[in-house]
Structure 1
Amino acid sequence: MKAIAYYRVSTDQQGRSGLGIDAQRYKVQVFLGDDFPPVAEFVEIESGGSSGRPELRKAIAEARRRSLPLVVAKIDRLARDVGLFMSILDQGVDVRFAELPELPTGAAGRFMLQQFAAVAELERGLIAERTSAALQAAKARGKRLGGYRGGRKPDHRLAAAARRAKADAFAADMGETVRSAVDLVGGLRPAARWLNEQGYSAPSGGARWTAEAVRRVVARAEELCRD
């Protein structure tokens, strides 16, 4: 199938590394088939809740000009805001998602897409809230916790909560990148090797990524989305 492809990552670091883009490109190519590379590709480095999307506007214009569908790897790569998402669908372009190859057309398909977009928006809000709370807790840990220096002994439950908050903040920031690494290079150990080679900081001040560290970050990021 001939199509226009649109890819989006949320951070400059992901854009420079090409990691998130490569994972999306792979999903789109599988959806289109090996014999049909995208007619044109547009890459955006922008938050999913932002409406300032120059590359998306170009992609929509190109899809409309060529009368071709616009293919995106996942719903949240198009937008994590329901209003923005639906406004894009209303621009007269046939938008397809590689993760939903069997989605029906017409009113039923549009309704389903709206529900999926609502879930993506909820995830964005929850991640933002958890990240803010985690950073505040980590900051509090720096002021109130630490080694015992006499006087009142530290609250070990508070210390444990602060460690969890710090891990949550790290997973919220790096979860998407780490998940993309696993998808792209195929497995926890290869993903750890790739992250080390690219110079990504390991969690908890560790010198290097390990397969176990990758597994924990992915699991914690998924838990953040569910909570």
Structure 2
Amino acid sequence: MPATDSQAPAVPGRRRRSRATAPANTCVAYTRVSTDEQVESGAGLAAQRAAIQAEADRRGWTIVAWHTDEGVSGGVAPARRTGLSAALAAVCNREAAMLVAAKLDRVSRSVADMGRLLVEAERKSWHFVTCDMAVDMSTPQGRAAAHMMVVFSELERGLISQRTRDALAVRKAAGVKLGKPTNVPDDVLRRIISEANSGVSLRKIAEGLMADGIPTGVGKAKWHAPQVQRALDCQRAQELVTV
């Protein structure tokens, strides 16, 4: 009796591959705040969580995990953010079908980084959703709209930075002393400037200085975020940036 399809012998050396899929209507939530004031108050994070939870409730999604980056700039690459890296790993490993954020700029303010994320989402079959956009980023039109929003977000970040530099230059030209004097050594100032420019929060910079036993400008052992900010604002720090 000839074998039926269900009884057909397997072809030697050939294995049937089945691609795992994420559970339907599941998502990983991501939140981010960029300043120490938002980190300490919790207002920014609370608002984002509320927006994501409301959207999930409205659309019947199950949030399987929350990931957060505190005091991290939107210009920092995803691979250098602990929270976003964990969220991306979850959707790429098919632990959830979607990555959800309250706003597009919470995920990235970089056109290049956002482009790579959207390509990765399409390649690995997960969806990227933000509560502030009424578009489906699984479609070409939706991805184009997302790219345009990131373009303007990146422009806004650049304009803010430019206005800050211009204002400081005008004040300096007028003979205004920028910030209070500080006794922090130049090598410590350079470290603070470098870490701040890399997107490290003021609180994290302070913790790192204390961990390395570096005293403050007045000889105290304990650093706080406002002390780090004062060091960044001092005239000597502004001069070191231009060196």
Match of 2:233 in 1: none
Superposition CA RMSD, Å: 2.4
* Identity over aligned pairs, percent: 34
2:63 aligned with 1:38: yes
Separation in 1 of the partners of 2:43 and 2:165? 25
Match of 2:37 in 1: 13
Match of 2:110 in 1: 81
Letter of the structure 1 residue corresponding to residue 26 of structure 2: K
Q: Give 1:50's match in structure 2, choosing from 51, 76, 81.
A: 76
TM-score after normalising by structure 2: 0.54
**Higher Cα Rg: structure 1 or 2?**
2
Secondary structure, counterpart of 2:176 in structure 1: helix
Contact map agreement 1:80 1:117 (CA 8 A) in 2? yes
Separation in 1 of the partners of 2:35 and 2:162? 18
Deviations 1:61-87 (A, max 9, x none): 112331320001111111111001111
Secondary structure, counterpart of 2:129 in structure 1: strand
Separation in 2 of the partners of 1:39 and 1:142? 56
Match of 1:59 in 2: 87
Match of 2:120 in 1: 91
TM-score after normalising by structure 1: 0.57
Q: Deviation at 1:118?
A: 0.6
Separation in 2 of the partners of 1:22 and 1:135? 33
Secondary structure, counterpart of 1:88 in structure 2: helix
Counterparts in 2 of 1:29 and 1:141: CA distance versus 1, 3 Å: farther
Q: Give 2:153's match in structure 1, choosing from 105, 120, 125.
A: 120
Separation in 1 of the partners of 2:114 and 2:137? 18
Q: How many residues align?
A: 145
Counterparts in 2 of 1:140 and 1:16: CA distance versus 1, 3 Å: same
Separation in 1 of the partners of 2:117 and 2:135? 20
Q: Which runs of 5 or more structure 2 residues have no equivalent in the other structure?
A: 1-24, 178-225, 227-243
